[in-house]
Homo-oligomer: A and B are copies of this chain.
């Protein structure tokens, strides 16, 4: 795992702690710092050495989530090929950080006061993808790009939760989200 290369084996894996924290906090938003520490398998003192306090932890969580989402957007190459394929790629790229992104999308608490400036840009990129799809005639135009963006977030969150709770197999994550978002529930005779 590349992110461990420079880490001394004794030290805490910062990102791993954050991922664990995201999983816990998305399940129980009022979790204590002590609970977070226990969930991450480290001492409370150590957790405190890495994150000055709860605010700093949440901020770090926000930063990591935004960073990961940005990488997912980059990796998905939204401008290449059809918007439809680009959206599939984007959904695929969200899988490895589904829990973290689910937390990011649903915890609106994060954007209290100072809305993270980085987020607006990423949001615009997603919205832009849907717009492109609409302009290209691939996506329907009776649903606004803003709504499609929100819907994607919601489905990613639901998908992460469904996998985490064991209701959906991890391997079906991409398929279920992509198929539902693209095709909807209705069964269709013959197409594609």
Contact = CB atoms under 8 A, between A and B. Distances in A.
Interface of A: 26-30, 84, 87, 106-109, 112, 130, 133, 137-144, 146-148, 150-151, 153-155, 157-159, 161-162, 167-168, 172, 176, 179-188, 191
Contact of A168 (B140, B150, B157, B179): B150
30 contacts: A27-B108, A28-B108, A29-B107, A30-B30, A106-B106, A108-B161, A137-B187, A140-B179, A140-B185, A140-B187, A141-B187, A142-B179, A143-B179, A144-B168, A144-B176, A146-B162, A148-B180, A148-B185, A150-B167, A150-B168, A151-B158, A151-B176, A154-B155, A154-B161, A181-B184, A182-B186, A183-B183, A184-B184, A184-B185, A188-B191
A11 B186 CA distance: 48
